[in-house]
Amino acid sequence: MSDARDQGTAARRRVLGDAHVDRSRADPDAWEAPFIDLITDAAWGHVWARGTISDRERSMMTLALLAGLGNIEEFRLHLRATARTGASREDVLEALLHVAIYAGVPRANHAIKVAKEVYAEMDAEND
């Protein structure tokens, strides 16, 4: 494995959790394995593992970008990861306020609706 792969795998596990990473790697002959390698190396190994800003800050930026672009399934995944990145619910709301102004109210409105659903699920899981 490359340094980027090792660092990316560590960052991915730190942010998304072992269970998610293990599920994504469960089938070593998976058709999408080259894609998983690509995002592990590039997104996680070259960006998330940089250490120049905190996971909390990177998490907030990621959520804002995903919401602004309408990538709601990834938004859900990264919203759940805030339990590990340290981005609070208030932080997420601040990011979504930026989305409303810079990417559009409908995108932020949808992301807020989804965030409320995900937070309710997370709360129920923790009870």
**pLDDT tens profile 72-118:** 999 999 999 999 999 999 999 999 999 999 999 999 999 999 999 99
Written as one letter, the residue type at 78 is H
Q: Are 118 and 66 in contact, with CB atoms under 8 Å apart?
A: no
Backbone φ/ψ region at 104: left (φ over 0), alpha (ψ -120 to 50), beta: left
> How much is the pTM?
0.92
**pLDDT tens profile 35-70:** 999 999 999 999 999 999 999 999 999 999 999 999
Domain spans in the chain, listed from the N-terminal domain onward: 1-52, 54-127
Place of tokens 């995944």: 77
Topology given in CATH for the domain delimited by 54-127: AhpD-like (1.20.1290)
What does the buried/exposed string (b/e) look like for 2-20 if buried means 16 or more CB atoms within 10 Å of the residue's CB?
eebeebbbbbbbbbbeeee
Long-range contacts of 96-100 (CB under 8 A, 24+ apart): 96/63, 96/64, 96/67, 98/64, 99/64, 99/67, 99/68
